[in-house]
Structure 1
Amino acid sequence: MATSQTTQNRDDILQLPTHLRLLSLNCWGLKFLSTHRHARLKEIAHQIASQSPPPEIVGLQECWTQEDYLTIRDITREILPHGKFYWSGVFGGGLVILSKWPIEESSMVRYPLNGRPAAFFRGDWFVGKGVACARIRIGGKGKGRGGVVEVFNTHLHAPYNEGAGKEDSYACHRTAQAWEIAKLMRAARERGSLVVGTGDFNMVPGSLAYGVVAGRGGGVRDVWRVVWPESARGSAEKGGLEGKVASSRECLDVHGTTCDSRLNTWRWSKALQKDLDRGREEHVDPEGEDWKAKRLDYIFFGDNAAEATGFSWQVEEVKVGMTMRHPELKCSLSDHFSVETTLVREQPDQPSTDNPRSQQPTLPASTYDQILSLITTYIARERRQRKQQLTLFWSSAVLTIACHIAIWWSPRNYVSFILMFLSTFGLGWGVLMGLMGFLFVKTELRALKEFRWEVERAREADGLIGGVGEGDGVVVDGDGKRSANS
């Protein structure tokens, strides 16, 4: 019986691909807001379909409309016959997963913390951001763990205030989201699956959210830092290049910058973009210094248990892609470039005794303290806002009653009109503030308390109870290694 099972496992392994090509891209497909949206996404699909060798699993972000999704599906169907558009929130999460192989299972996991409805002009809360999950069997007819890839595609909350010299008021939300996707990837790796995490994480290497993904993701690794371990941790503008300013070409080839590159036309000034629309193209020297370019898009992967499958996956190559222009419009295909990687299946010389559970990097005590401090500060902020919102609610109720009473003694019709207008406006505004204070903030505070509990329990599980623990002085990098702080 054991021999038969071993033979079956060997046959399944032989049916697995030797290479796995992955691509992640933020398409910038906001309906009514993104310039040349449909034409750009159509060209993105053509570029994906014409790649050689073609990608086999693709994660897209900001593909908001069914129209664009169906267009991409039609064009890429030959190489990526399977796909899933993920529904979420009021306007949709904008997440898509395309695959060469059938998607056995899928789910959309909403983030408990995801912006505020009052910030309607930003839209993060309304789109219902979360993690698009897909279970894909890439080869073999058996039910062995080695042929399963679990894909997690996401788009974390944007910082917004980062470039204005202000505090990032959404740092707590993004950190909580990083914690959630890290949990999902860790659980998948413990099941023995090959784990792939793609998306626009809106974080730079070395940030708090990045450390959470690398430290709590069960050993997942950032493919770029596997190949380029000395790459920049941020833009030169933010000190990520340690005072040096790399050229645009070096930013792409070495540092993996996918956003705000000088080579991306959507970073250009409005005047230059208008000139481009008129057919006058600005030449950009790729050797020029690039202060603002940064890496926000990632592919993380976590290998399945080699002792159970007899093989492992390694990063063969990684690159920034989709840097070409639209052939007619001459603009960049998106305001982001893609990140692309190839994983290769290898059979180790010696049987591995590694276990995903035993090799999980942990976070240093200082990182746990930073997260808990962030949560505490944000809870205090939300309680202040809730108090203000409820004060406005009761004030509007008093104003409405006062206006209705005053109408009885109104000397003129126009005065009655003004009083009615004030009471109606005040009542509407007050109801909105009441809904925010009584319902939304209350819900958010409960989610924050849950997040805090999880962090505290994880801190205890890592043996870091009370003050400085053994985790101090240890940094978890994106390649899954632990190294001492200098």
Structure 2
Amino acid sequence: MPASSEAPTTLNVISYNCLGLKYISHYRRERLAEIGRKLALASPVPEVVGLQECWTQEDYQSIRRQTKHILPYGKYYYSGIFGGGLAILSKWPIEESSMVRYSLNGRPTAFFRGDWFVGKGVACARIRLGLRSEEVVEVFCTHLHAPYESEPNDSYLCHRTAQAWEIAKLMRGAAERGHLVLGLGDFNMVPLSFAHQLITGYASVRDAWRVMHPQSSIGSANDELERKRGRGIPTARYNLSENGATCDGVLNTWRLSKEQQKKQYKGENMIVDGTTQDPRAKRLDYIFIGGSDHPHLPSNNRWHVQDIKVGMTERHPSIGCSLSDHFSVEATLSRGENPAELAISTGPAGSGNPTFQHVDIDSLSISTYDIILSMIETYTLRERHQRHFRLSNFGISMVVAIGCFTAIWWSPRPFVAFLLMLLSTLGFGAGMLDGLIGGLFIGSELRALKEFEWEIQNAKAVAEEQRRGDQENVNKV
């Protein structure tokens, strides 16, 4: 289907984590083929799609073949050792594209988690909405580092905060160019968490779900902050329709118990009623929108959220499992006509047709910058201790290896010589690994932390100067 020459008045957007881990994910080929079929038949017809955990070219090409009649343009993004798993599909040509890797991106020693090896980052695409249109959308698709412990004890919190900062900078730059900004992806954060506030505050973007559902949950019903709201345990159906829960819900077969999953694999369809209580479901997948209310743009180029929903909740027709361990988030944006109406709705969910207003890109409080700086200082101290420990291990292992080789000369028995040789070899290998990690990786990480620290200090100084100027203007009035 050829791209229209005129700019559209609505824009249908989907973000979806596909669970396409090669060799690991069960029924990967079948599920991702079905995902392509669902996208091709989706209503309303998707026009911009951001995919995460689409790790293989085979699966990407399968989706492309099935959706090419509605999404003729696409880009698969390469990153890291195993690939970043990111892809963007579009109704219109992609004018520019880049893959921006995060500077803080997990640790190679956590090979069983894989975040460092896949080279996580931001897939960026610049798309012109119509061949002769001046309307440009900049799409940023990402998958942030996963949290493996609860905050504030998460040892990767500084990494995820740095990643949130980097994508916020990219979205802020696009907004300052006067372009419509779309941030899509699995952000591995709950609504109103620190990373969430950092992105919405610094990038001047709006969480599309909270625009339409401002009273939606800020975590699972088991989370402490959500429990304090006193709303009780929601049903599975309510979590989908009002809370936008895309992950860990009882309706997703990948969150069933191991025993139930075994029954599922054997063909026994595990049916869960929508009225079942759903205490663990939460929202990790987002569509952020911003930049389209730039003051230099004509009012008819401004966009608002018309509708949003959780999608891809169906199960595979023959296997019976959910298509992924996440559900998709799907939004329809409409072009606004009256700038005076650009204000966030504070009424109950579902009331009216809320839109979003422009927010000062320096709206982060000074305390936010201080929290980040404290986080950087704590993590830097941890990594310095790690480097000292690993480099010390390297030195000790070298001494032990040399000592074992020397002792072989006076070995009274062959088996003693063998044990000394084995000890020397294993010690040398472990020491070399520690030396490489301590000297190269941690050294690189510490330099990235210094860059991150400077950026935050600089942003804080700019914000303080701006606030002083604003206060002086108020005092003059």
Q: Same fold (TM over 0.5)?
A: yes
1:234 to 2:219 alignment: yes
**Structure 2: 5+ residue stretches without partners:** 343-356, 472-477
CA distance in 2, matches of 1:170, 1:179: 14
Residues 16-75 of structure 1: CA deviation (Å, up to 9, x unaligned): 111100000000100011111111001011001001221000000000001111111111
CA distance in 2, matches of 1:73, 1:284: 32
CA distance in 2, matches of 1:189, 1:335: 32
Bigger Cα displacement from structure 2, 208-217 vs 240-249: 240-249
Q: What corresponds to 1:456 in structure 2?
A: 457
1:210 to 2:199 alignment: no
1:309 to 2:298 alignment: yes
Shift of 1:347: 2.1
1:223 to 2:224 alignment: no
Matched letter for residue 448 of structure 2: A
CA distance in 2, matches of 1:171, 1:375: 10
Q: What corresponds to 2:165 in structure 1?
A: 179
1:408 to 2:394 alignment: no
Q: What corresponds to 2:334 in structure 1?
A: 344
Are residues 465 and 169 of structure 1, via their aligned partners in 2, closer, same or farther at CA, if it must alter by over 3 Å? farther
CA distance in 2, matches of 1:349, 1:404: 78
Q: What corresponds to 2:87 in structure 1?
A: 96
Equivalent position SS for 2:447? helix
Residues 281-328 of structure 1: CA deviation (Å, up to 9, x unaligned): 222121122111011000001142254233211100000000000001
Q: TM-score scaled by structure 2? A: 0.90
Conserved? CA contact 2:17–2:186, under 8 Å: yes
Match 1:334 to one of 324, 339, 342 = 324
Are residues 135 and 349 of structure 1, via their aligned partners in 2, closer, same or farther at CA, if it must alter by over 3 Å? closer
Are residues 50 and 405 of structure 1, via their aligned partners in 2, closer, same or farther at CA, if it must alter by over 3 Å? same
Matched letter for residue 139 of structure 1: G
**Structure 1: 5+ residue stretches without partners:** 1-12, 471-486
CA distance in 1, matches of 2:189, 2:265: 31
Are residues 168 and 65 of structure 1, via their aligned partners in 2, closer, same or farther at CA, if it must alter by over 3 Å? same
Residues 385-421 of structure 1: CA deviation (Å, up to 9, x unaligned): 1111011100110011011001001111111111111
Conserved? CA contact 1:303–1:313, under 8 Å: no
Match 2:309 to one of 311, 319, 339 = 319
1:196 to 2:182 alignment: yes
Bigger Cα displacement from structure 2, 165-174 vs 66-75: 165-174
Matched letter for residue 263 of structure 2: D
CA distance in 2, matches of 1:149, 1:286: 37
Equivalent position SS for 1:375? helix
Bigger Cα displacement from structure 2, 449-458 vs 299-308: 299-308
Matched letter for residue 116 of structure 1: R
Are residues 281 and 114 of structure 1, via their aligned partners in 2, closer, same or farther at CA, if it must alter by over 3 Å? same
Report 1:277-426 matches (<5 A). Answer: 277-304=265-292, 305=294, 307-311=296-300, 312-348=302-338, 359-426=360-427
Shift of 1:370: 1.5
Matched letter for residue 317 of structure 1: D
Q: What corresponds to 2:428 in structure 1?
A: 427
Are residues 351 and 320 of structure 1, via their aligned partners in 2, closer, same or farther at CA, if it must alter by over 3 Å? closer
CA distance in 1, matches of 2:122, 2:93: 19
Match 1:270 to one of 258, 267, 284 = 258
Q: What corresponds to 2:155 in structure 1?
A: 169
Bigger Cα displacement from structure 2, 219-228 vs 166-175: 166-175
Matched letter for residue 381 of structure 1: R
CA distance in 1, matches of 2:371, 2:397: 39
Are residues 384 and 103 of structure 1, via their aligned partners in 2, closer, same or farther at CA, if it must alter by over 3 Å? same
| Corresponding pairs, count | 447
Equivalent position SS for 2:310? strand
CA distance in 1, matches of 2:35, 2:190: 25
Matched letter for residue 280 of structure 1: E
Matched letter for residue 400 of structure 1: A
Are residues 464 and 208 of structure 1, via their aligned partners in 2, closer, same or farther at CA, if it must alter by over 3 Å? farther
Conserved? CA contact 2:174–2:291, under 8 Å: no
Matched letter for residue 184 of structure 2: T
Shift of 1:358: 7.5
CA distance in 2, matches of 1:234, 1:390: 41
Shift of 1:332: 0.3
1:83 to 2:65 alignment: no
Q: What corresponds to 1:154 in structure 2?
A: 142
Identity within the alignment, %:
57
Matched letter for residue 454 of structure 1: E
Q: What corresponds to 2:354 in structure 1?
A: none
Equivalent position SS for 2:98? strand
Q: What corresponds to 1:50 in structure 2?
A: 41
CA distance in 1, matches of 2:26, 2:180: 37
Conserved? CA contact 1:64–1:95, under 8 Å: yes
Shift of 1:333: 0.2
Shift of 1:167: 1.6
Equivalent position SS for 1:331? coil
Are residues 350 and 174 of structure 1, via their aligned partners in 2, closer, same or farther at CA, if it must alter by over 3 Å? closer
CA distance in 2, matches of 1:262, 1:105: 40
RMSD: 2.1
Q: What corresponds to 2:238 in structure 1?
A: 250
Equivalent position SS for 1:124? coil
Equivalent position SS for 2:222? helix
Conserved? CA contact 2:176–2:291, under 8 Å: no
Conserved? CA contact 1:365–1:464, under 8 Å: no
Q: TM-score scaled by structure 1? A: 0.89
